[in-house]
A and B are shown apart, each in its own frame.
Chain A
Amino acid sequence: MIGLDSNILPVAFGTAILGAVSGGVGCYAVVRRQSLQGDAISHAALPGIALAYMLGLRSEIFLLFAAGLSGGLSLVWVQAVVRRRGATFDAALASAIVVFFGLGVVLMSRLQRTEGGAAAARLPQFLFGQEAAVLTFADLVPMLILGGLALGVVVLFWKEFLLLSFDADFAMTLHLPVRGISVLMTIVTVLAVVVGLQTVGVVLMSSLLVAPAIAARQWSSRFGHLMLYAMAFGSAAAYAGTLAAHHLGERGSAVPTGPTIVLCVTAVALLSIAFAPHRGLVPGYLRRRKAGAA
């Protein structure tokens, strides 16, 4: 490690843990074909954050709580829209994103007009994540606690979540409280989105849920392994992305951590699609060529 000062390493370590949380929880969304759910939750966090700000609830934990609440509310919107049968799931998601994000922009712009400087400086960081130089490890502590909570619930309800993700009908015949478990899974997803908001930002957060799971899927077909791989990929990408943003920042350009983390995690996913031993495109091509030659 060349030219790294000492306070970036704890921050990178913190974002790595958060990357592990969202990477792990994102596996459920991907296997349930709801990869874009996180996109709705994260965009919808914006009005919650702005509203909490307006009401004067400015400590970290209130902001996160409000973000989670409005993110969860967007999923209620999605459910309601889909049930009316006027729209399919994707249209419902897209509508939730624009309505909540629009509302968030409205509130943010009000805030910037009434409050000026402080809020104007604070709120955009939720769009793309903070600049690496500004972030400290202490900023990340509330999110680490929430992330630990999310992983705890996953471990505790491991069997139930697994059953519901792969065979909801069977879960129903076992008289499991399917609705309750489904709500709990949603809460865990919302938690995983919320914990990444400050490092990655609302616009890019969905990627941190989806890309590690896509990468992991190329390496294993067992769900337990899938989740471990995804956690590893998520944390490695978050670590590398934070260091990259910091490094670029030292060279004089203020780079938020979000884009670098997302680019790292996307690179991992694309490399996995290309080179993973069993499913990868390149090994598959080589195998076919060998079979053709034989």
Chain B
Amino acid sequence: MTIGEVELHAMLLTASVAAACAVPGVFLVLRRLAMVSDAMGHVLLFGIVVAYGVVGSLDSLWLKVGAVLSALLTVILVEQLQRTRLLREDAALGLVFPALFSAGVLISSLYFRNTHLDVDQVLLGHVEFAARWDALPMLGLLALNLLLVVGFYRTLKLTTFDPTLATMLGFAPVAVHYCLMAMASVTVVAAFDAVGPILVGAFVVLPAITARLFVDRLGPMIALAVGFAIFGAALGVRLAFSFATNTAGMAAATCGLVYLIAFLLSPKRGLIAVWLRRRRLRQAWLQALDAHG
């Protein structure tokens, strides 16, 4: 079994995308914001289309800026809607992101039909065409994300697990929240070229919840999540090339498979471990009952 050069580049790119996404992913999952990553992915198209309409060029950094802004716009809109207290968080999210996504699809099919802004490609990514150095910016982003998390580790930890105490001690949970959202949206935007905006969520959410099955501490959870992300993505690319199918989809599905295996086999929370533990307890109980007549 040999791995071709194209496949190797795709593997490098997907693995670095997955690892970079897994870092903010841990915090999103712990802060119950997992669905926000899904929403962010959906609204990128809107930002890109609007930025394209304004700038008029496809190879522009402005498209990325537009995408990041649209992700942040979603976060702000959801929070503002929630603050009216007329609807709850889940409903606000469910109202905002389909609307922005629709606006994106509508504008692109009305005005940009004949350009290269291909909705299918924007949606599904094209990691198959990865070139030699494509993984470098993603590796840089991974390094930046890790650096930020290590640098602000205690702040992040405190605001994630006890926002009230964090406020009392003079930290600013709201500011930290927005910084985290900015980090997540920049990462998602950087990643979506490769894997498409909807499936970016796979690398944000799945490694984090897989890691959570094994550990209860934040540091190890981040490290494990990055590890699972790299493993799942690399394996996904391998499988995609053997079955000749969409790489991003396969990488997402493989991360799901990794979760499923962990779900069964994790020594602490796994289905089998819990079942065995319960059985042992039950038998110990029965024996104790017998012994005491």
Contacts and interface: CB of A to CB of B under 8 A. Distances in A.
A157 B123 CA distance: 40
Given A80-B263, A103-B253, A253-B113, A94 B38 contact: yes
Given A35-B91, A207-B95, A87 B209 contact: yes
B199 A248 contact: no
Interface stretch (A16-24, A163-171, A173-181, A254-262): A254-262
B90 A33 contact: yes
Contacts of B102: 204, 207, 258-260, 262-263, 266
A205 B14 CA distance: 29
Contacts of A35: 88, 90-91, 93-94
A269 interface: yes
B105 interface: yes
Contact of B244 (A98, A107, A113, A258): A113
A210 B209 CA distance: 27
Interface in B19-56: 29, 32-35, 37-38, 42
Interface residues of A, number: 64
A281 B124 CA distance: 39
* Interface of A: prevailing SS: helix
Given A95-B206, A99-B253, A256 B245 contact: no
Contact of B38 (A84, A97, A110, A207): A97
Contacts of A110: 243-245
Given A102-B248, A109-B246, A94 B84 contact: no
A81 B209 contact: yes
Interface in B88-145: 88, 90-91, 93-95, 98-99, 101-103, 105-106, 109-110, 113, 120, 123-124
B105 A259 contact: yes
Given A39-B94, A217-B86, A98 B202 contact: yes
Given A105-B246, A256-B109, A259-B103, A207 B94 contact: yes
A39 B38 contact: yes
A129 B90 CA distance: 24
Nearest to B196: A105
Contacts of B212: 86-87
A255 B110 contact: yes
B146 to A, nearest CB: 22
A79 interface: no
Given A106-B250, A262-B102, A94 B94 contact: no
Contact of B87 (A90, A105, A263, A273): A273
B109 A255 contact: yes
B251 interface: yes
A90 B256 contact: no
Contact of B98 (A30, A91, A206): A206
A287 B109 CA distance: 43
Contacts of A90: 32-35, 90
Interface string B199-230: 10110111011001100000000000000000
B180 interface: no
B269 A273 contact: no
B66 interface: no
Contact of B106 (A38, A85, A102, A260): A260
Interface of A: 30, 33-36, 38-39, 43, 80-81, 84-88, 90-95, 97-99, 101-110, 113, 124, 127-128, 203-204, 206-207, 209-211, 213-214, 217-218, 248, 253-256, 258-260, 262-263, 266, 269, 273, 279, 281
Given A84-B271, A102-B248, A206-B94, 10 more contacts: A39-B38, A95-B209, A95-B256, A97-B201, A102-B252, A105-B252, A106-B246, A109-B246, A207-B95, A255-B110
